[in-house]
Amino acid sequence: MAMDSKVTFKNSNPTLLGNDYNLDGVRDDLQAWIEKEYGSQTDLKLVARRYAQAYQNAFKTVDNKTESIKSIKSLLKASECFVETLKSQGISIEKSIQEKDKLKKLILNTKVRLKAQDQMNENFSGSSYMLTSKNEACAL
């Protein structure tokens, strides 16, 4: 894992959902970054893809508050799984969160996506989410 890499990929479609030509739920620019960043580390690629997919689902439901809350809870669970997986490999909590936030920055790389994030926060306002164990967070 290249924790300090500065690799970025240009997003050729700045719309909310971007391009996902293979329809796997991960934007193509993010998929390319994940492949380059994590290489042969299958478990890290898996949790990074899951986090990116959860964000994509949250973006899709942002205009329906009830569905948005469900999607945000799935996103929070994917976020926990990402961090807990890195921690289980001996990476500090701080570095684990930084690594997740590096991907989050790529996910939220346009004004429309940042605006959707704001709407997601508004939708979730007043809701709650209980932290889980790694096994629960990473369970599909």
User: Tell me: the pLDDT tens digits for 48-91?
Assistant: 999 999 999 999 999 999 999 999 999 999 999 999 999 999 99
Of 8-17, 18-27, 61-70, highest mean pLDDT: 61-70
For residue 19, what pLDDT band results from cuts at 50, 70 and 90? confident
Q: Is the CB of residue 117 less than 8 Å from the CB of residue 108?
A: yes
| pLDDT at position 14 over 80 | no
CA dist 60 to 28, 63, 70, 85, Å? 16, 8, 12, 26
Give the pLDDT of residue 1. Answer: 53
CA atoms of 83 and 109, how far apart (whole Å) = 21
Higher-confidence residue: 9 or 55?
A: 55
134: nearest Cα among 25, 43, 72 = 43
What average pLDDT is seen over the chain? 88
41 phi and psi angles, rounded to 5 deg: -80, 85
Q: Is the CB of residue 51 less than 8 Å from the CB of residue 82?
A: yes
Q: Both tokens of residue 140?
A: 């599909």
Q: Is the CB of residue 102 less than 8 Å from the CB of residue 25?
A: no
pTM of the model: 0.86
Cα 133 → chain centroid: 18
Give the pLDDT of residue 3. Answer: 44
What is the greatest pairwise CA distance in the chain?
41
Write down the residue that tokens 């996910």 correspond to.
107
